[in-house]
C-alpha cells in the first residue's frame, strides 16, 4: 500500500530516514542499522538524494537493496534542481520498474558557486510534483517537505504557506517537516495550513541529538532554532558522547510524547544511519503510540 493511502486510513506512520553511504563499509553499517530498526516495524524508510544528482546511483542501489532484501516499504527522495525533465522521467521510470510506489519530491539546494542547470529543469518542487503526476498518474504516493519555522528562502510564513499549498495542489499526498526542537512551531504551522485549506497529513521530522556540533551546524543551515535551555544543557558535554546521547534522547522523548498526545499522524526520525538513539526514544514512547497489527 502507498504511504498516502495508509495515512488516509488514519493509521499512525513510523518512519526512518537514511542517506546513501559512500563506501561499502558504510553500506554494511547502514544495513545493520536497518536490521536493528526493522524490529520496530516501520511504516516506511526513506533514502535521501544529493541535490546535484551526485547520489543518483548510490540512492538507487540502497533503495533497491532495501526493497528487495527486506519487507520494509521504501520511499525514495528525488531532487529536481539539476535534472532535465527527461532525466527525471527516466529516474522515476527506473523506480517504478522495481516496484517503488512512494517518492519524496524535492527541489534541493542550489550548489554553491556557478550553477548551470538544464534549460528545462524544474525550479521548484511543485513543478516536480506536477511532472510526476502528469507522467505517472497515481502510481506514486508523493510526499513533500515542509518547514514549520519557514524555509530559509521564505521571507515570511505567509509566503511559506502560499508555496507549500502549491505543492499540495499539484498532487502531494502528505508532507514531512524539517527538524524542529520547539513543538510550538509545528502546532502554529499546522494551524496556518488548516486555515489555508491544506488538509494533507504533516508528519513531524524528529532529530534525536547525538552530536551537538553536527546538529548545530545542520540547524543553522536549515534555519531550525535550538532552544537556549537545550543549548545550555548540551554545551558542557560537547566532548562527551554518552552524556550528549542521554540528553538528546531525553529531549526527543519529551518532544515526541507531547506531539503524540496532540494526535500527530506519524513520526519521521532523522537517523543519520544510526539506530541507537532512535531505538532508545522509541522504547520510551511506544506506549503512547497507537499502532495496528
Site mask, ligand FAD, residues 175-194, x = CB under 6 A?
-x-x----------------
Tell whether residue 21 is a contact of ligand FAD (CB under 6 A): no
The answer to whether residue 173 forms part of the interface with ligand FAD (CB under 6 A) is no
Cell readout for 229 is 535551555
Cα R_g (the chain), whole angstroms? 18
Annotated catalytic residue: which of 17, 86, 93, 261?
17
H-type alpha helices, the chain: 3-8, 24-38, 56-69, 85-97, 125-136, 157-169, 183-195, 212-222, 228-234, 241-261, 276-285
CB of 58 to ligand FAD, least distance (A): 12
Buried b (16+ CB within 10 A) or exposed e, 224-236: bebeeebeebbee
Give long-range contacts, CB 8 A cutoff, 24+ apart: 214-222.
Answer: 218/179, 219/179, 219/181, 221/152, 222/147, 222/152, 222/178, 222/179
Query: Cell numbers of 89, please?
Result: 522521467
Does position 161 bind ligand FAD by CB under 6 A?
no
Alpha-carbon separation of residue 229 from 101, 150, 172, 254 (angstroms)? 41, 22, 36, 14
- 153 vs 283 by CB, closer to ligand FAD: 153
Q: How many residues bind ligand FAD (CB under 6 A)?
A: 25
The single residue among 49, 180, 185, 282 that binds ligand FAD, judged by CB under 6 A, is 49
State the nearest-atom distance from the C-beta of 170 to ligand FAD, in Å.
10
Cβ distance 249 to 280 under 8 Å? yes
Query: In sequence order, what are the residues at sequence separation of 6 or more whose Cβ sits closer than 8 angstroms to the Cβ of residue 250?
Result: none
| Residue 205 interacts with ligand FAD (CB under 6 A): yes or no | yes
The nearer residue to ligand FAD, 63 or 281, going by C-beta atoms, is: 63
Binding mask 217-236 for ligand FAD (x = CB under 6 A): --------------------
131 vs 176 by CB, closer to ligand FAD: 176
By the 10 Å C-beta count (0-12 exposed, 13-18 middle, 19+ buried), 127 is classed as buried
How near is the Cβ of 159 to ligand FAD at its closest, in Å? 6
- Which range, of 83-91, 157-165, 257-265, 273-281, touches ligand FAD by CB under 6 A? 157-165
- Give the nearer residue to ligand FAD in terms of CB position, either 53 or 248: 53
**Active-site residue flag, 25:** no
Is the separation of the CB atoms in 243 and 173 below 8 Å?
no
Return the residue of 163, 187, 218, 237 that touches ligand FAD, per CB under 6 A: 163
C-beta of 161 vs 280, nearer to ligand FAD: 161
C-alpha cell at 41: 516495524
DSSP labels, 41-60: --SEEEE---TTSTTHHHHH
Residues of this chain, 61-100, that bind ligand FAD according to CB under 6 A: 77, 79
Q: Which of positions 120-139 make contact with ligand FAD (CB under 6 A)?
A: 124-126
Report the interface residues with ligand FAD, using CB under 6 A: 48-49, 51, 77, 79, 104, 106-109, 124-126, 145, 151, 153-154, 159-160, 163, 166-167, 176, 178, 205
Tell me which residues are annotated as active site.
Answer: 17
Amino acid at each position: 500500500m502507498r504511504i498516502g493511502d495508509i495515512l488516509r486510513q488514519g493509521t499512525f506512520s513510523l518512519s526512518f530516514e537514511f542517506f546513501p553511504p559512500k563506501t561499502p563499509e558504510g553500506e554494511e553499517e547502514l544495513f545493520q542499522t536497518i536490521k536493528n530498526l526493522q524490529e520496530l516495524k516501520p511504516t516506511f524508510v526513506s533514502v535521501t538524494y544529493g541535490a546535484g544528482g551526485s547520489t543518483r546511483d548510490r540512492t538507487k542501489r540502497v533503495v533497491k537493496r532495501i526493497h528487495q532484501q527486506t519487507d520494509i516499504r521504501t520511499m525514495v527522495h528525488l531532487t529536481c534542481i539539476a535534472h532535465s525533465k527527461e532525466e527525471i522521467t527516466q529516474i522515476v521510470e527506473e523506480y517504478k520498474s522495481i516496484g517503488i510506489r512512494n517518492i519524496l519530491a524535492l527541489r534541493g539546494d542550489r550548489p554553491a558557486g556557478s550553477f548551470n542547470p538544464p534549460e528545462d529543469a524544474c525550479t521548484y518542487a511543485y513543478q516536480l510534483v506536477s511532472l510526476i503526476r502528469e507522467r505517472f498518474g497515481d502510481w506514486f504516493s508523493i510526499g513533500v517537505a515542509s518547514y514549520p519555522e519557514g524555509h530559509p528562502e521564505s521571507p515570511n510564513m505567509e509566503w511559506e504557506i502560499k508555496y507549500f499549498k502549491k505543492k499540495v495542489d499539484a498532487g502531494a499526498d502528505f508532507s514531512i517537516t524539517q527538524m524542529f526542537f520547539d513543538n510550538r512551531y509545528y502546532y502554529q504551522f499546522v494551524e496556518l495550513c488548516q486555515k489555508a485549506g491544506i488538509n494533507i497529513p504533516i508528519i513531524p521530522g524528529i532529530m534525536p541529538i547525538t552530536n551537538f556540533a553536527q546538529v548545530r551546524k545542520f540547524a543553522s543551515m536549515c534555519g531550525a532554532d535550538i532552544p537556549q535551555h537545550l543549548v545550555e544543557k548540551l554545551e558542557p558535554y560537547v566532548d562527551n558522547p554518552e552524556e550528549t546521547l542521554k540528553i538528546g534522547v531525553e529531549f526527543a522523548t519529551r518532544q515526541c510524547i507531547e506531539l503524540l498526545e496532540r494526535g500527530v499522524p506519524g513520526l519521521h526520525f532523522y537517523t543519520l544511519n544510526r539506530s541507537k538513539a532512535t531505538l532508545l526514544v522509541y522504547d520510551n514512547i511506544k506506549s503512547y503510540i497507537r499502532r495496528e497489527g
